[in-house]
Chain A
Amino acid sequence: MAQATETLRVPPAAARQNMGPADTALAALTVIAGALVLAAIVMALRVAPDAAGLTPDETAAQRIIYLHVPSAWLSLLAYGVTMIASILYLRSSQRKWDEVALSSAEIGLTFTVATLASGSIWARPAWNTWWTWDPRLTTYTIVFLLYVSYFMLRGAMEDPARRARFAAVYGIFAFLSVPITFFSIRWWRTIHPVLFDAKNFGLSSGMAPVFFFGLAAFTVFYVVLLWHRIRLEQAIDEVEALKEMGGY
């Protein structure tokens, strides 16, 4: 019980002056992830061979695949992590799972925007249009909207426990609806012919190592981002607790 003249007792975490083992590990991993992503970018731009049979514009644009596909894969991985964390939160009511769900959804949404933007930039030279309603793109737009709605739901709720529960329920529905959405739209598209072929992801033998290296680099990048974001969320919680103790 702090008296008026005493300073606030801060939780141990906030008073840490020295880096603990977890902090060192995260710092090291951050440096590694940064180096890997940089290497992946260099390899994508310089090392990977040109694709065959394309115009000069398309040849340059084709290199977007090394950014575009990992972003898409990571966004779906992130949303899957959100669903699993949501289920674990509902079962245990432990705040940490809500932190994981929220952090992963936020990172996933960022990668979703990156995927949509990079895909659109690629489409312009390759298909001569910024956008088309083919099944994959349409489904992916719905995925984007699902997680925008996830954050609108979170923003509309004040009570932290309720917000976490509702977001968890929505996170489960959102991820489960993705495959069903894809199948329903793809079936629709078999009736109305698609104007453009689905992107051809045939990777020549020279491209495959660059591609998979990029995929691995981005996955490490995701883990680092997630870890940092969870720590940020924990810091936010500590600030809220401090504010309550101080009577704000």
Chain B
Amino acid sequence: MTFLRAVSAITWKDVRAELRTKEILSSVIVFALLCVIIFNFAFELRVPDMKMVAPGIVWVAISFAGTLGLNRAFAIEQDRGSLAGLLLAPIDRSAIYFGKLLSNLLFMLIVEAIMLPLVMIFFNLSLLTGPHLLVIFLGTFGFAAVGTLFSAMAVNTRAREVLLPILLFPVLVPVLVSGVNMTGGLLDGKTLADVASGLQVTVFYDLLFTIVAYLTFDYVVEE
């Protein structure tokens, strides 16, 4: 099986399984929504303009909901023993990483596709422009790249789900900081060129850590 076919087979497997049960998407979408609403209660009466806190709310909701989704994705594999099956298959181990990365990325993008219009409505903002979507996509990719690897680690520990945010958030800081500031800058009326430094940081982060994750995934899943 060629590498690309293996990757797409794994991604499609996850997508099909999710379409049947919808167990990840439904809970993660509801959680993201609840996050946004709770932040509204947290800030609304004390902040003069909700636009000031909207970028932070968006990225925190993405982070928390994303962590929830990542946990479920690998926990399902673990609980049903299907990870062992994947490891026995005659494919490159890194195909498992990329297949899982793409399915996690896809799920997160779907969650964001539902969450962002709602944020727009709640806070009366415009978030669906090209630059915004690019910024959110790049940040989500970095999140999924590192998160897929770390969730493969976290699921094998005693603490399981609780450990993933502890491992993930410090490493994810560049993505979050750049994401919040790019989104904020764009909301303030800047162009993509003005936030180019943030784009550079995020793209560099995405490339570097996808490569490092690809190189180290083998060591994480071997028995």
Contacts from A to B (Cβ < 8 Å): 90, 142, 145-146, 149, 152-153, 156-158, 162, 165-166, 168-170, 172-174, 176-177, 180-181, 183-185, 187-188, 191
Contact = CB atoms under 8 A, between A and B. Distances in A.
6 contacts: A165-B222, A166-B156, A169-B153, A176-B208, A177-B174, A185-B173
Contacts of B222: 165
Contacts of B157: 153, 156-157, 166
Given A165-B219, A187-B201, A191-B185, A181 B178 contact: no
Interface of B: 146, 149-150, 153, 156-159, 163, 166-167, 169-171, 173-175, 177-178, 181, 185, 197-198, 201, 204-205, 208-209, 212, 216, 219-220, 222
A153 B204 CA distance: 26
Nearest to B194: A191
Contacts of A169: 149, 153, 216, 219-220
A173 B173 CA distance: 12
A170 to B, nearest CB: 7
Contacts of B169: 145
Contacts of A176: 208-209, 212
A64 B15 CA distance: 57
B144 to A, nearest CB: 15
Contacts of B153: 153, 166, 169-170
B157 to A, nearest CB: 4
B47 to A, nearest CB: 17
B75 to A, nearest CB: 15
A158 B163 contact: no
B171 A184 contact: no
A153 to B, nearest CB: 6
Given A180-B201, A180-B204, A184-B201, A146 B216 contact: no
Given A153-B167, A162-B156, A169-B153, A90 B204 contact: no
A142 B212 contact: no
Contacts of B185: 191
A177 B167 contact: no
A176 B175 CA distance: 14
Nearest to B178: A184
Contacts of A181: 173-174, 177
A177 B157 CA distance: 23
Contacts of A168: 219
Contact of B220 (A142, A152, A165, A184): A165
A188 B209 CA distance: 21
A156 B163 CA distance: 8
Q: Looking at B174, B178, B197, B208, which has the most chain A CB atoms within 10 Å of its CB?
A: B174
A34 B220 CA distance: 41
A142 B173 contact: yes
Given A165-B220, A184-B198, A191-B181, A174 B171 contact: yes
Contact of A90 (B159, B170, B219): B219
B177 A188 contact: yes
A187 B197 contact: yes
Contacts of A172: 212, 216
B174 A183 contact: yes
Given A156-B159, A184-B178, A173 B219 contact: no
Nearest to A147: B170
Contacts of B146: 173
A154 to B, nearest CB: 10
Nearest to A182: B174
A74 B162 CA distance: 31
A157 B158 contact: yes
B174 A184 contact: yes
Contacts of B163: 152-153, 156
A233 B52 CA distance: 50
A140 to B, nearest CB: 12
A68 B197 CA distance: 31
B156 A157 contact: yes
A185 B149 CA distance: 24
A177 B212 CA distance: 11
B151 to A, nearest CB: 12
Contact of B158 (A158, A174, A188): A158
Contacts of B158: 156-158
